[in-house]
Amino acid sequence: MKRYHFPIMLITVMFSLALSIPVMADSFTNTIEIYKKDASVQPFFKNAYGYAVFPNIGKGGIGIGGAYGKGRVYHGGKVTGETSLFKATIGFQLGGQVFSEMIFFEDQRAYDEFTSGEFEFDASASAVAITAGVQAKAGTEGATASASAGPATGQQADTNYHNGMAVFVHTKGGLMYEAAIGGQKFTFSEW
């Protein structure tokens, strides 16, 4: 039983830190501006039906891990509601990380699906990093991996909508070794 105390304590600390990060209007604006600077994301701002912005998501774990963050959902440039992200994982993982995330909705169907109250990405969902990084995905379709060189080199992984949504992440800090399976779950409350 004692071997489970440290991972539980680590997750508790991680969630406490994520909840204590002040989420101000400026953090949403600043996050959106960071993503607008990336050439691979710009077309999504022009063509998306709407999007969700998470300025700070905290992630950490040792064997058992999790992530948490609060965000806002936009349609037509206006905030339509608040959303929360929760992710639980199990597998090889060690460390902690803070990142931001944007989810673009291709059409009203995807927007309505996300804002239906509770929405979940399964383990096959993947995101494109707008900074140098590597990603892997595992799911019922098999396993794949890809890498992006980041905006400084002018090379970026091709990104398209998957089931009406496109996900981008921007790492802010930390170090996380992870080969874990788990999906992101979202809640939504309308303003």
The verdict on pTM exceeding 0.75 is no
Contacts of 106 (CB under 8 A, 6+ apart): 47, 48, 49, 161, 164, 165, 166
Three-state SS letters, 36-91: HCCCCCHHHHHHCCEEEEEEEEEEEEEEEEEEEEEEEEEECCEEEEEEEEEEEEEE
Where does the pLDDT of residue 85 fall: very low under 50, low under 70, confident under 90, or very high at 90 and above?
very high
What is the tally of structural domains in the chain?
1
Residue 60, pLDDT score: 92
Question: Which pLDDT tens digit goes with each residue over 129-147?
Answer: 886 434 444 333 333 333 3
Q: Which two tokens stand for residue 106?
A: 């291709």
Using CA atoms, how far apart are residues 86 and 11, in angstroms rounded to an integer?
Answer: 12
Contacts of 24 (CB under 8 A, 6+ apart): none
Domain that holds residue 93: 2-190
Residue 191, pLDDT score: 85
Residue 29's Cβ-side half-sphere holds a number of Cα atoms within 13 Å equal to: 3
8 or 185, which is more confident = 185
Q: Which two tokens stand for residue 187?
A: 């809640």
Residues 136/143, Cβ–Cβ less than 8 Å: yes
Please state, rounded to an integer, the average pLDDT across all residues of the chain. 78
